[in-house]
A and B are shown apart, each in its own frame.
Chain A
Amino acid sequence: MKRTFQTRFKNKIKLLWSLIKSPQTLLLLMTGLAGFMSSRCPWFNFPILLGVAGSLFLAISGSTVLNMWYDRDIDSLMKRTCWRPLPSGKISPNETLVFGITLSVLGVGWALAIDLLFGFIVFAGLFFDVVVYTIWLKRRTAWSVVWGGLAGAMPVLAGRALGTGRIEWVGILLALAVLSWIPTHILTFSIRNQEDYKRAGVPTFPSTYSVPTTLRVISASTVIAAIAMIMAAVGIDITAGQMRLLAVLSSGLIFLAAASMLRPSDKVNFGLFKYASLYMLSAMLLLAAVVF
């Protein structure tokens, strides 16, 4: 009896965990922590650090779960997503909705309790992601990707604003870097899964403006992300050694973006997507390392 309960509990946790898209959530959480630590505030204050990490994790997870809840009908039509717990019937929509709202309320509430400006930006991220991107624009226009990007840019802006006490140009540049990186992620998937999106009736850049145009947009936004990141690093005044490494990583990103534009192929495009994710993680670690 006890064993059955334990197994069911474990399975439930596993299912709920799969709803939060952990790699994406943890990467966005990392951007928030990097934004906070890059301000060189007295970051090793355990309750505040725990608060930043905890509130961002809950809010980002909450918006992802709500996004999955709203998109369950189109997820069930797409090969890439039909195995997810919600479209495959492993978890009920009501349960998912309650889970998403709980995480979101806890996350935003905790963020507001830490600092009003921080909490407001965290809430803005959730609002842009769930209401503007998912509910309002995703099924209407290919340009919804901009709002998805804006939502993803909020954690780093929130972290930086908490550290500095205001929204300043370095925070905006960091947000611009994340905003420009997110289309690389979303548009790459929209190219690889064109048929899926077509079947689900979701307008995408490849279906609206063609694949070559989408590849150019991906390359251009990747280059903007690299430039914004370097400018932010200058503003943060990272060490010469860290700046050299960031310049090297950015050169690789720009090289791959150029290769993807000049000789487009699925492999190079997907390589650019993977490199861009690694780049974002490495750049954020470098920025966070200024406190040491």
Chain B
Amino acid sequence: MVKITVLDRILLSLSILLAAYQIVFGIEGSNQLGIASYTIAFGVLLIAALLLIILGFQVLDSPAVIIISTIIPLSLSLGLISEFFPKYAPGYIIFAVAGFLVVMVSRYFAPKKTATIILIVVHGISGLLIFGLPIYLSVIGTTNKGFALVGIGGGLFGIGGMLLSFLITGRPILPRERILSILPVLMLLTIAAFVAGFALA
């Protein structure tokens, strides 16, 4: 069993502070749907970091982790769509809600292969949006260049998500210890990139 170290706790605490800062100050100025979506995304990240500190890495063994972790990319991408492409927001809300429900239901009632395909589709679409949209918006000049950091955060989040998914499905591409040792660093870098990206937008 991999125990959580003091360094892990420090990194996770910093992640919590950054996520809390983003919820309180960092998303002011967005529209209501954007604020709600970003709050949910950073809120889940904050609580996840808090639970890792309190309960240790064993919390990742829970089957609920896959379902709850789906909320982060879905709500973050919904926030981006509602802020920069508001006319697509109603359609994307339907995708986000339906995607989350389908992931949840398939985890318990669908064959394993089907559940994995659904997870890849939902995570893939929302993850690509978080990664691609901020970079695209900053390149075409809709936002400042710094907003591309949100895309980089999305990329880091994707890497973390993949490592975690492989770990939970029992097919880790790296040893469990290695994945767990880099997870707090990855989490901090992801949130830091998000926070910096939104601040520089």
Contacts and interface: CB of A to CB of B under 8 A. Distances in A.
Interface size class of A (residues with CB under 8 A): 10 to 19
Contact of B50 (A244, A245, A278): A278
B23 A271 contact: no
Contacts of B75: none
Contact of B55 (A245, A247, A271): A271
B126 interface: no
B54 A251 contact: no
Interface in B19-34: 20, 23-25, 28
The interface residues of chain A, by DSSP majority, are classed as: helix
Contacts of A255: 47
B35 A248 contact: no
A248 B39 CA distance: 8
A244 B54 contact: no
Interface of B, secondary structure class, is helix
Nearest to B40: A248
B42 to A, nearest CB: 8
Contacts of A239: 24
Contacts of B25: 241
A2 interface: no
Interface residues of B, number: 16
Given A271-B55, A274-B54, A275-B54, A245 B20 contact: yes
B23 A252 contact: no
Contacts of B23: 241, 244-245, 248
B43 interface: yes
A242 interface: yes
Interface string B44-76: 001100110011001000000000000000000
Interface string A256-292: 1000000000011001001100100000000000000
Nearest to B25: A241
A5 to B, nearest CB: 37
Instruction: Indicate the member of A252, A255, A267 with the most B CB atoms within 10 Å.
Output: A252
Contacts of A267: 55, 58
Interface string A22-40: 0000000000000000000
Interface of A: 239-242, 244-245, 247-249, 251-252, 255-256, 267-268, 271, 274-275, 278
16 contacts: A241-B23, A241-B24, A241-B25, A241-B28, A244-B23, A244-B35, A244-B39, A247-B43, A248-B47, A252-B43, A252-B51, A271-B54, A271-B55, A274-B54, A275-B51, A275-B54
